[in-house]
Amino acid sequence: MTDEWIIGISVVGIVIALLLIYLLARTKHSEKKHLVVQIITGFFIIAGLTFGLAVQDEADPLKILMFDAIILALYFLIIFIVAKLREAGKLKQSVSTRKIAFLGIMVGLASALMLLEFPVVPGYHFLKVELSALMIFMALLWFDFKTALLVSLATNLIHVFMPSTPPVILFMDEGVNFIATMIFIAPTAILVRRQNLFDSEKRPIVTWIVIGSALLTAIVMVLYNYFINLPIIYKMEMPFKSVLEIFGVFNLIKWGLNALVIILLWRRLYALRMISDESEPVSE
């Protein structure tokens, strides 16, 4: 793609974003303070993504600009659609502007964390660790499993279109990461109820569940690579011992680090739970 095309797409994206901001200001239920929050949130998301892209090797400023413009336009398009659905009475009023803006920030942070990846297995530079699961886990605690699923799905879809090395199979890496993340948070969604998080005596159970989740995810990913990924998708034969040494070690490090960060930070981050508009338990 030439620089002229990149600049053209960037300009179109920015114009669309500005047009949507104007239309949002004219919607029936729009309030100025909500619009300001939405705009600040949008640019906060862009700032996080720009930082994540800029620190990568061979970062192309024009491609980063194009990507930012597209994401900004999509963000305000979603906000506009939600506002119109609410105006038409087709969307619950409980889906507040505050929650939408907060989820946008979470997707932006998760996407930025996904970009700050680093290799951990010598000779296998494509096996990289990133800590986006922290934001997905907090979406689970703050809201519910469905919300965490949506944040993870949006984060991985954004990653598909980020300017980076083209994957061997489109959507493959992001799809596997999405499934692994859902496996990682599923035990917490099933076993932990939100009201228990207020009880200091029951809080340690979260630590053990998260550790168990990391082990479970590592085991599932080893089996996935041995039975599906290598022989079926990549047509490669590898002894189970080698799969265990490479993918087992990698997934233990990746999900172990995610578990460690969650264990260290979740209580402090959970203190922000008042941002959530819902009071239902995590699991029902």
Residue 103 lies in a domain: no
Please indicate, yes or no, whether residues 259 and 142 belong to a single structural domain of this protein.
yes
Please indicate, yes or no, whether residues 38 and 157 belong to a single structural domain of this protein.
no
For the chain, what is the radius of gyration of the CA atoms? 20
> Would you say 65 and 129 are in contact if contact means Cβ atoms under 8 Å apart?
no
Q: What is the Cβ-side half-sphere exposure of residue 269, based on CA atoms within 13 angstroms?
A: 17
Residue 117 lies in a domain: no
pLDDT of 280: 44
> CA angle, 254 as apex, 202 and 250 as ends, to 5°?
135
> Would you say 59 and 53 are in contact if contact means Cβ atoms under 8 Å apart?
yes
Residue 213 lies in a domain: yes
Three-state secondary-structure class, residue 68: helix
pLDDT of 1: 53
pLDDT of 258: 96
- Dig out the tokens for 179 from the structure: 């499934």
Span between the terminal Cα atoms of the chain, in Å: 49
What is the reported pTM? Answer: 0.77
> Would you say 202 and 196 are in contact if contact means Cβ atoms under 8 Å apart?
yes
Continuous segment of H or E residues that includes residue 129? strand 128-129
- Dig out the tokens for 226 from the structure: 């041995």
Three-state secondary-structure class, residue 262: helix
Quick: pLDDT tens for 28-40.
555 566 667 677 7
Q: Which residues of the chain have pLDDT under 70?
A: 1-7, 9-10, 13-14, 17-18, 20-35, 37, 52, 55-59, 90-98, 101, 163-168, 194-203, 273-284
Measuring CA to CA, which residue among 16, 4, 7 is closest to residue 65? 7
Residue 116 lies in a domain: no
Burial environment of residue 26 by CB neighbours within 10 A (0 to 12, 13 to 18, 19 or more) = exposed
> Would you say 163 and 63 are in contact if contact means Cβ atoms under 8 Å apart?
yes
Which residues are within 8 A (CB) of 216 and not within 5 positions of it... i.e. 6 or more apart? 183, 184, 187
pLDDT of 273: 66
Please indicate, yes or no, whether residues 276 and 195 belong to a single structural domain of this protein.
yes
pLDDT of 113: 85
Please indicate, yes or no, whether residues 72 and 155 belong to a single structural domain of this protein.
no
Residue 154 lies in a domain: yes
Residue 250 lies in a domain: yes
Domain limits for position 189: 122-284
Residue 104 lies in a domain: no
Count of structural domains, the chain: 2
